[in-house]
Amino acid sequence: MSKHHDRNKMLNQILHAERLQQLLAPTEADLAEVEAMSEAELDEELAAAGIDYAAFAARLQQTLANHETPTLTPAPALPAGLAWLQRRGRRWLQATFEGLEDLRRGCAPMAPVLDAGLRETLPAALQAASLPVAVLSLHAVTGGVRLAVRWLAGAPDTAPAVDARLRGMRLPPAGWLDWHAPGQRTQALFIGCTLDAATLEQHDGPVLRYAWEAATGRLEIELLPDGDEDDGA
C-alpha cells in the first residue's frame, strides 16, 4: 500500500471525524441545514461519517424492549398497616408494626382461631402478588435486628441472598441464623446494623419494606424506609 493511499485514508478519517463532531455538537446553522435535508441526504451524510443509522435504530429498539418495565397485575387489598409499592418495575410490601402484627396473625403456622379471616385472605393476597414470603416479626438484638421470615410455600433449597438497607444506606450482608432443610418454612434472619430497640419503639411510620426477586432468588429488605417512593402499584 503506497504512502499516497495511506495519506488519503488518514485525511478521509479526519474529515469524517470532523463531520461526525458537527453532527454530535451542531450549531443553529447545522440544525437548520439538517432540517432542510431529505431522508436520503441525511442517510448519505451519516454514511459518510461512518454511521449506520438503520443498525443503530434497530439496536436501540432491542435495548428498549429488553429493559421494558413489566406490567404488574393489580395488587390485592391489604389491611391498614400494610401497603403495596411499585418500584423499579417490582412490587414491594411495606409494613408498620401494626402491619407486621397482621402478617404474624395471618401467616404464622399456629395463628389463633380468631384470626381465621386473615389466615384466609392475607397469604392468598401475597401469593397473588408474586410475593411468596411474609416477615412475621422484627426485633432489635445485640448488634442488629432479627426477623422471622415465613415462606408461604416450600422454602428455597438454599438460603437466598439478602440485600439490606437502613434508611436507604446499604448494610453488610445479612445472614440466615440456621437455614433448615427444605420443608421448614419459617426461618430466622439477622441483619447487622445500629438500629436499637428504643429507636424502633419511637419510630412512627413504616418500619420495613421488602421485595422478592424470583429470577435471582434474592430478598431485598429496607429498614425504616424513607418516604414511599411509590410509582404506582
Decide if 48 contacts 37 (C-beta within 8 A): no
For the entire predicted model, the pTM comes to 0.65
Residue 30: C-alpha distances to residues 24, 34, 36, 38, 47 (Å): 10, 6, 10, 14, 17
pLDDT of residue 72: 55
pLDDT digit string (tens) for the chain, length 233 residues: 555 555 555 656 666 666 656 555 666 776 677 677 777 777 777 778 777 766 666 666 666 555 544 455 667 889 989 999 988 778 999 999 999 999 999 998 876 666 778 888 999 999 999 899 999 999 999 999 999 999 987 778 888 999 999 999 999 999 998 776 555 678 899 999 999 999 999 998 999 999 999 888 899 999 999 865 555 55
Q: How far apart are CA 105 and CA 116, in angstroms?
A: 9
- 218 DSSP 8-state letter: E
Beta pairing partners, 76: none
pLDDT of residue 52: 73
Decide if 171 contacts 193 (C-beta within 8 A): yes
- 217 DSSP 8-state letter: T
Decide if 146 contacts 108 (C-beta within 8 A): no
83 three-class SS: strand
Q: How far apart are CA 191 and CA 172, in angstroms?
A: 8
One DSSP character per residue, 105-151 reads: HHHSTT--GGGHHHHHHHHHHHHHTT--EEEEEEEEETTEEEEEEEE
Residue 203: C-alpha distances to residues 91, 94, 195, 224 (Å): 24, 15, 11, 8
Q: At what angle do helices 116-128 and 97-107 cross, to 10 degrees?
A: 100
Decide if 149 contacts 136 (C-beta within 8 A): yes
- 224 DSSP 8-state letter: S
